Chain A
Amino acid sequence: MNIILRSIRNIGRKKFRTSLVLIFLSLIIGLFVIMVQVSVTSSQKYAEMETRIRNTIELRPVGSLSAGGVRIRLFPFESTMASIKGIPHISKVERYLIKRIFHEEESFEIIIGLDPESSLRVIGEPEPIDTTIVAGRRLIESDRDQAVVVMGKALAEKKGIFVDDVERATVQFNETAFTVIGIFASGNEFTDNQTFVPFNIMKKLYNPKGVSKFFVTVDNIRNTKSVVQELKTILKEADIIANEASIEFVKSSLEVIGSTTLYSSFFFFVVGALLIIFVMMLVFRERQTEVGILKALGASNTDIAKQFVLESIFLTLLGGVGGLAVSAVGLYFFSLTWTNISFQLVTTPLPFLTVIEMIIASVVLGIAGSVYPIIRSWRLSPVDTLRMG
């Protein structure tokens, strides 16, 4: 029998106590893993959100806010674009031309010109988000100089164009026929009365004096403030709308979750360490005589240390396996609870990272637990322990 098998068998000496310890260790390690997992995931989500969500800034000519950027003033075509592109941390600039076409019955529709690949942002939504294509496709690079449109569902239906008519149906704007290549739905009848066309075509068709609005994407949420400052300095004639309050809310929420779970994981780790240290103290006290016997038989301090380390690690690893089960269940319930909010902090089944966390935590706890018996056994004289026995 080698030292590994002996260490494993030692764990089973006090079956009842070992079972209790394993239950507690499973709970503690399980909670530890959950906390670490949520903490790590919230940091990742925050980093992801920083680069992806709500990092757009809307630029409208000053005074046009109430008009939805439709008229009043416009940005000069070339100089504004050049000024914006010169600002650091801007990853994308999207320009929009906006035209309202009034009908006799006091209704109007809106045509929006934009570069292919730009987000289909409708006018009138509080959040400048992309719309959903329900039929056909978006504008792509090859559409840059083509007479094509992506039309709102409500407007398309008014014109007798339905999902199946995409790529076949045409509509007239300023006496030019445009092929309907896609239909979008924003869930709002007003905004579904809008139409997207390529920027170049719109410019030719209506000959506008300038750009109606820009959307500027910042590379990272953290740089939003500085970019806004730069824009304010350069574009004095612009209303600059950045969703800083939302950014701050997301940031602070994730920070609170991250720090709470981090401190909790530290707490559970300390509790786990105390438990295993206490158990290994008991184990050592019970087996002092045996340590003396091993020493009398010629075991070196290293041989004895190895046995305690292995025994402690096996115990915590078993607890870790139980902890995985606890964390799998816990994370599953977390994921169920948190599906109502816009970001999900946990995933099921357990990611590989969680298993690695469990192994590392168990090994570290095991080592912590073996320190006391190792130190005591090193100081132990075989004669004294045999006399005690």
Chain B
Amino acid sequence: MDKSTAKLIGVVKTYGKGHLAVKALDGIDLNVMEATMTAIVGPSGSGKSTLLHVIGAMDKATKGEVEVVGVDLNALDQKGLAKVRREHIGFVFQTFNLIPILSALENVMLPMEFIRKGRRQKKERGQHLLRKVHLDHRLRHKPTELSGGEQQRVAIARALANDPAIVLADEPTGNLDTKTGRIICDLLREIAAEKTVIVVTHDEHIADNADRVIYISDGQLHA
């Protein structure tokens, strides 16, 4: 039976107060199933990234219920949200956001440091993940020595470091050429065989390859 990984009911996210208040999310109901790839599309400023941040325990909803891997995020304080991010969520950013002083392997090992994994375990898993994204020949390279596509693959490997239930990707192909974008898309598709992948994107190719496409505008979902 299909199992829900992320469930949102009547979620509202408002920025600012009084007459300056802006509703980024306006009554979102969403149920994302385990081991699927969901693409969230919509125009700029429609609330795509905000939705991703709320699901990813980076931001709290103003109103409504958010349940991720069975945890009620609204009930958690900042420490609790950090724990959810550390153990259950993997992030992939548009600008890769790798740490420049660390090598590819060290970047992948970084999230494992926060769950106090042993050095050997970290190294072995890091090497395994970089092999999985076909970068086992680039372990010692710094981000500046890698191409955009390679950096994004390192970022994907890093997102998988703590074996999260959900991988969230915010415009993962936004800074890449079409060919490299396809490679990243294929990689995400591959990950979705085991994990829940939610991708915010403008890339039609990703949307075409997703199990489900959600359209969002003015903070509201459209089927």
Known A296-B85, A297-B86, A298-B83: A3·B113 in contact at CB below 8 Å: yes
Task: Tell me the bound Cα distance from A295 to B59 in angstroms.
Answer: 12
Count A interface residues, CB 8 Å: 25
Interface assignment of B158: CB less than 8 Å from any CB of chain A: yes
Given known A1-B102, A293-B99, contact A300–B79 (CB-CB < 8 A):
yes
Query: Is A298 a contact of B97 with CB atoms below 8 Å?
Result: no
List the A residue with the shortest CB-CB distance to B110. Answer: A297
Indicate if B53 sits at the interface (CB-CB under 8 A): yes
Interface residues as binary, A288-306 with B (CB distance below 8 Å gives 1, 0 otherwise): 0110011111111101000
User: How long is the Cα–Cα vector from A319 to B111 in the complex, in angstroms?
Assistant: 31
Chain B binder among A6-14, A265-273, A354-362: A6-14
- Docked Cα-Cα span, A300 to B78, in Å, equals 9
Once the chains bind, are A289 and B97 in contact (CB under 8 Å)?
Answer: yes
Contact A1 B53 (CB under 8 A): no
Does A177 belong to the interface (CB within 8 Å)?
no
Residue from A2, A13, A289, A382 within 8 A of B58 (CB atoms):
A382
Mask, B106-128, CB within 8 Å of A = 1, is 10011101110001000000000
Contact yes or no, B82 A299, CB < 8 A: yes
- B96 to A, closest residue via Cβ: A293
B85 to chain A, nearest CB (A): 4
Chain B's nearest CB lies how many Å from the CB of A156?
Answer: 80
Is A389 close to B, CB under 8 A? yes
Contact B59 A298 (CB under 8 A): no
Least Cβ–Cβ distance between A6 and chain B, in angstroms: 7
Determine the distance from Cα of A294 to Cα of B97 in the docked complex, in whole angstroms.
10
Pairs A-B, 7 closest by C-beta atoms: A298-B86, A298-B85, A1-B106, A297-B111, A293-B97, A298-B114, A383-B59
1/0 contact trace for A214-256 toward B, CB 8 Å? 0000000000000000000000000000000000000000000
Interface flag for B220 (CB, 8 Å):
no
Contact indicator A9/B101 (Cβ below 8 Å): yes
Task: Pull 27 A–B residue pairs with CB atoms less than 8 Å apart, ordered by A.
Answer: A1-B109, A2-B113, A6-B102, A9-B102, A289-B97, A293-B97, A294-B110, A295-B82, A296-B58, A297-B91, A297-B110, A297-B111, A297-B158, A298-B85, A298-B111, A298-B114, A299-B86, A299-B114, A300-B86, A301-B79, A301-B82, A381-B59, A383-B58, A383-B59, A386-B58, A389-B95, A389-B97
Provide the residues of chain A in CB contact with B101, threshold 8 Å: 6, 9-10, 12-13
Shortest C-beta distance, B93 to chain A (Å), equals 7
Q: Which residues of B contact A (CB under 8 A)?
A: 53, 56, 58-59, 78-79, 82-83, 85-87, 89, 91, 93, 95, 97, 99-102, 106, 109-111, 113-115, 119, 158, 162
Q: In the complex, which of the residues B93, B111, B113 contacts A386, with contact meaning CB atoms closer than 8 Å?
A: B93
Residues in A with CB closer than 8 Å to B93 are: 293, 296, 386
Report A377-389 CB contacts with B as 1/0, cut-off 8 Å.
Answer: 0000111001001
Give B115 Cβ to nearest chain A Cβ, in Å. 8
Bound CA–CA A6/B106 (angstroms) = 10
Bound form: Cα–Cα A293–B97 in Å: 7
CA–CA, A82 and B217, complex, Å: 107
Given A290-B99, A300-B83, A383-B58, 10 more pairs with CB closer than 8 A? A1-B109, A1-B110, A2-B113, A13-B101, A289-B97, A296-B93, A299-B114, A301-B82, A386-B97, A389-B97
**Which residues of B have CB within 8 Å of A389?**
95, 97
A 1-25 contacts with B by CB, 8 A: 1-3, 6, 9-10, 12-13
Point out the residues of chain B lying under 8 angstroms from A301, CB to CB. Answer: 78-79, 82
Contacts of B162 in A (CB 8 A): 298
How far does the Cβ of B110 sit from chain A's closest Cβ, in whole Å?
6
Q: CA–CA, A290 to B96, complex, Å?
A: 12
Across the interface, which residues of B come within 8 angstroms of A289, CB to CB?
97
What is the distance, in angstroms, from A299's C-beta to the closest C-beta of chain B? 5
